[in-house]
Chains A and B, each alone.
Chain A
Amino acid sequence: MDTLPIVGADGGDVRNYLTFILNGKTQRVDNIAGDMTLLKWLRNQKSLVGSKEGCAEGDCGACTVAIVKTDDTGNLTWRSVNACIVFMGMLEGCAVITVEGLNGPDSELHPCQKALIDFHGSQCGFCTPGFVMSLFTAWSNKHGLMAEDIDDTLAGNLCRCTGYRPIVEAGLSLKNAKQPQWELDRNEILKKELLKIKSSEPVEITNGKNSFSVPTNYEDFSTTYADQPSSTIVSGATDIGLWVTKQNRNLSNMIWTGRVKEFSKIDQQEDFIIIRPAVTHQEAMEKLGSKWPTINALWKRFGSVQVRNSGTVCGNLANGSPIGDLPPALIALGSLIELTNRNKKRKLPLEEFFIEYGRQDRHSGEYVSGVFVPNKSGNNFRCYKLSKRFDQDISAVMMGANLSVEKTKITKATICFGGMAGTPKRATEVEKALLDQPFEPQSFIKASKNINKDFDPLTDVRGSADYRRKAAQNLVMKYGYELTGSFVPNLADRNQVENLVS
């Protein structure tokens, strides 16, 4: 047995059981494998089989459940997540609500459930519990049920029979509906119950073979990981969950960032917005997206609500995917990455972190402890994503671009691509060709030719090498047209497309 000794902040032992609330009832769970997923536990241990396994990789949404916490002001926050890739240890101190936990007294159905019935939103019914839970979470958060965001609310749920229209209509019908009194009462009770189980104790659960550590402060986390660099750091588990469910990998020790107090913050310094390891995509999106709408649009496409609610920015960088959508955008903004080993920290430009396919500049015992996004740049910052499916598909080509203009000349250009090489990579020859050129479309058209000098992309199922080169060139041109004021329709905007032909 090879478990991690963790010493709590007070020097006491770690707690060896989890406490969380399931459909209103407090649970105490011990002696459980660290890699046990919530979905498996619900279905096998609790006989709650309403949540379905459709893919076991966080794509289809059939296992969607709501995770409820209280925020600093004591209000409830609701997140929909894919239970198939949530590890049990990640539930410490939370409330979980499954489709079985929605209805009111005398089995009265919840308004979200009723709406799906009334609008004929189910056919085979297998995806339906997931849709119910996505609608329910949006309903509880009091946003996400409007015409402009209902598609985003439901983008993480796949349906194959009904077609999405009746489901969307069911969602839209809920936007003005009132919460029944029994639901308001239930939420008040939930708030109190959550307070009761609130703690800052570190926890470690294990079945003797696979352990899952839940440290609560930064020192504990750093020490533990530095002592046991072979253990696996888990943040949102949107990737690591698949190591278990798909690759059957045996992860004997996992350490979770999610409850480390210092890790869940977005710090704001004068020059930087700092995203710490446990900050989810959703949280980062709300912060950065309000500043740069272009990255907001990108985020919606690369992760469903459920994935954004679980996955983290730092995790997305640490896993080093060559087509990860965030790195090109963050590199274009001039972001830095911070790595920590015990108490030793170093910072480097994000693009230098990616060395080659599958290899990052991360030493043994080091972890990604933050991303520093420059605060002040970026009026000309844009992201573009090309993929076969609009929502939640891996990019064929992804471009993040930023430039500075003084008077009428381009004085600085940062253009970074995903999907064009083994790592996210800057198009240095294109950048050079733009430098000191007049800020007009012709400069971009000329510079775009240099894509061929910068990249020698692969041919794979997402696109041929020729397609990728051509598409990358076109994106550079599009960027130029867009910045210099030509009208370039945004195909992602339904209204714009409809209005093109009136």
Chain B
Amino acid sequence: MKDTDGSAKEGIVHKAIRHDSAHKHVSGAAKYVDDIAVPPNTLEILLGQSKFAHAKILSMDLSQVENFPGVIKVLTAADIPGTNDCSPFAGDDPIFAENVVSYLGQSVFAVVAEDIKTARNAIELAEIKYEELPAVINIDQALETGNVLGPPAVIECGKVDQALAKSKNKLEGKIILGGQEHFYLEGQAAFAIAGEDTDIVVHCSTQHPTEIQHKVAMALGLSNHDVTVITRRMGGGFGGKESQGNLPAIVAALAAKLTGRPAKLIYDRDDDFILTGKRHDFQISYKVGFEDNGLINSVIVDQAMRCGMSWDLSEAIAARAMCHAENSYFIKNMRITSHRLKTNTQSNTAFRGFGGPQGIVGMERVIDHVAHHLNVDPLLVRERNFYPHKTSATHGITPYGQTVHDCIIQDIISELKKTSDYADRRKDIEKFNKNSEFFKTRDFSYSCKVWDFLQCKLFKPSRCTATCLQ
């Protein structure tokens, strides 16, 4: 392995070490949950899903499903001995919807059958009567109707409004960031076997076996020590298996417990898309006040995020988005408001970056907007506003009160400018775009990223005020 300067380095960090399962990956010998050899009496489970985004359940007749040849059991909320909840902490994610469905595709019941084909045939015979209710689907609707999971969270530092009013230049704008499906190649998967006494073993594709253990115990009315969760490996997770594995694991465990037979719940790709939360989509609105030289005096940013029908992990994700909202720039006066919006959609969840990317993109947009207004290279505006090398009582402190030590972003950028031939390449691009009739070539720019200065809980009230964050 060569270092970036081309020199070979000694030591473990510089060694190319092969994946310790690589030989099993390439020969098909690596086992995932659906690959485990199961006893011949294993049952397969399919979730019955809501047909509306928001509706009252008036009646539910599952007798035809239950009587379908090959169906062993139908599970509903009434079959849950413990708590009907699969949320990571807030208690607002039912395993099976009761009375009301809150998103299209929500789990309402489960068919436990000899095989999945039987379950698929049987499930079509469910008769559920709904009374449709008005649904709030997107961010605009949620803002308009004030549909929120909790009051706005605010971080504020300095004299935001005054500094904005005094600025020579003012701009405002908005950027919309879409959500994203995790698309782990292996869908959600759980396989449960009831053992002796109250024991139950759940094989599960999850990033959070401990939480699975707790949630299975809670739902089944067991103690944690009754539940063994085994996760050999996952076929990808990316945050999508942090909390979203709870539901299939609980339902598989419940089926195994109630039927006495091993039971497996593997989400088909379509079901996985429909049932599970995604990356939070954001609308970020901002106001910025700045001087002609690009120095930013004040930023007001509103992050509206679509959380879906329940909290899931949205609170912590919101906090991280807020704590990355200034990115690598020292903004003396800043107000960051987070709107955690409740919508009749899947409960959005952890996804690589956990809110950080959304926060950062918002600020990068502000910088680009300022540069565009001043008609200068955006990198100039970035450099003008970087956290300083040396901090003082008034400089180099984040909006949430942390002192930024050892900031070297200036050094990194100046080196990159040299090694990438930045100035000349930009000139070439400008020339090309001017002379090319149809095709404008890609631009060349730098974007900066700050990452995880802090744990979101460590606010220093001396410099800022933070409300509604726990």
Contact = CB atoms under 8 A, between A and B. Distances in A.
B185 A160 contact: yes
Nearest to B18: A117
Given A98-B28, A122-B22, A125-B235, A62 B185 contact: yes
Interface in B267-281: 268-270
Interface in A29-44: 43
B30 interface: yes
Q: Decide if the interface of chain B is mainly helix, strand, loop or mixed.
A: loop
Contacts of A53: 34
Interface in A113-135: 113-114, 116-118, 120, 122-129, 132
A105 interface: no
Interface in B232-289: 233-238, 268-270
Contacts of B449: none
Given A49-B34, A52-B32, A55-B269, A488 B23 contact: no
Interface string B210-243: 0000000000000000000000011111100000
A50 B21 CA distance: 14
Contacts of B236: 124, 126, 160-161
Interface string B175-209: 00000001111110000000000000000000000
B184 A125 contact: no
A47 B124 CA distance: 30
Q: Which of A47, A53, A114, A488 has the most CB of B within 10 A?
A: A53
Contact of B438 (A100, A109, A248, A481): A481
Interface string B303-320: 000000000000000000
B432 interface: yes
A454 to B, nearest CB: 23
A116 B21 CA distance: 12
Contacts of A126: 32, 184-186, 235-236
A129 B438 contact: no
A372 B269 CA distance: 38
Q: How many interface residues does chain B have, given as a range?
A: 35 or more
A125 B30 contact: yes
A47 B36 CA distance: 10
Nearest to A107: B27
Contacts of B19: 117, 120, 122-123, 125
A501 B432 contact: yes
B29 A56 contact: no
A50 B28 contact: yes
Contacts of B268: 56
Interface in A420-450: none
Given A124-B233, A125-B233, A500-B439, A49 B27 contact: no
* Interface magnitude class on chain A: 35 or more
Contact of A160 (B24, B238, B436): B238
Nearest to B24: A125
B462 interface: no
B25 A246 contact: no
Contacts of A475: none
Contact of A117 (B22, B117, B187): B22
A210 to B, nearest CB: 11
A479 to B, nearest CB: 13
A60 B432 contact: no
A365 interface: no
Given A109-B23, A500-B441, A54 B28 contact: no
B78 interface: no
A301 to B, nearest CB: 20
Contacts of A112: 26
A403 interface: no
Contacts of B436: 500
B121 interface: yes
Contacts of B429: 501
A99 B237 CA distance: 24
B438 A128 contact: no
B57 to A, nearest CB: 24
Interface string A473-497: 0000010010000101100000000
B37 interface: yes
B412 interface: no
Contacts of B182: 160
B361 to A, nearest CB: 20
A103 interface: yes
A127 B28 CA distance: 10
A122 B26 contact: yes
Contact of A122 (B25, B34, B425): B25
B185 A100 contact: no
B185 A57 contact: no
A114 to B, nearest CB: 8
B369 to A, nearest CB: 25
A328 B297 CA distance: 57
Interface in A52-68: 52-57, 60, 62
Contact of A248 (B121, B183, B428): B121
Contacts of A7: none
A410 interface: no
B389 interface: no
Contacts of B406: none
Given A52-B235, A126-B32, A100 B120 contact: no
A117 B23 contact: yes
A52 B185 contact: yes
B411 interface: no
B13 to A, nearest CB: 15
B423 interface: no
Nearest to B429: A501
B35 interface: yes
Contacts of A55: 269
B27 A50 contact: yes
B269 A54 contact: yes
Nearest to B30: A125
A51 interface: yes
B214 to A, nearest CB: 25
Contacts of B21: 122, 125
B18 A120 contact: yes
A48 B29 CA distance: 9
Interface string A141-169: 00000000000000000111100000000
B189 to A, nearest CB: 10
Interface in A190-247: 246
A52 B185 CA distance: 9
Contact of B185 (A54, A116, A486): A54
Q: 7 tightest CB-CB pairs across the interface, nearest first?
A: A50-B28, A126-B235, A125-B25, A99-B28, A49-B35, A113-B26, A122-B25
9 contacts: A49-B28, A54-B235, A60-B185, A112-B26, A116-B26, A123-B19, A124-B237, A158-B183, A160-B238
Interface of B: 16, 18-19, 21-32, 34-35, 37, 117, 120-121, 124, 182-187, 233-238, 268-270, 425, 428-429, 432, 436-439, 441-442
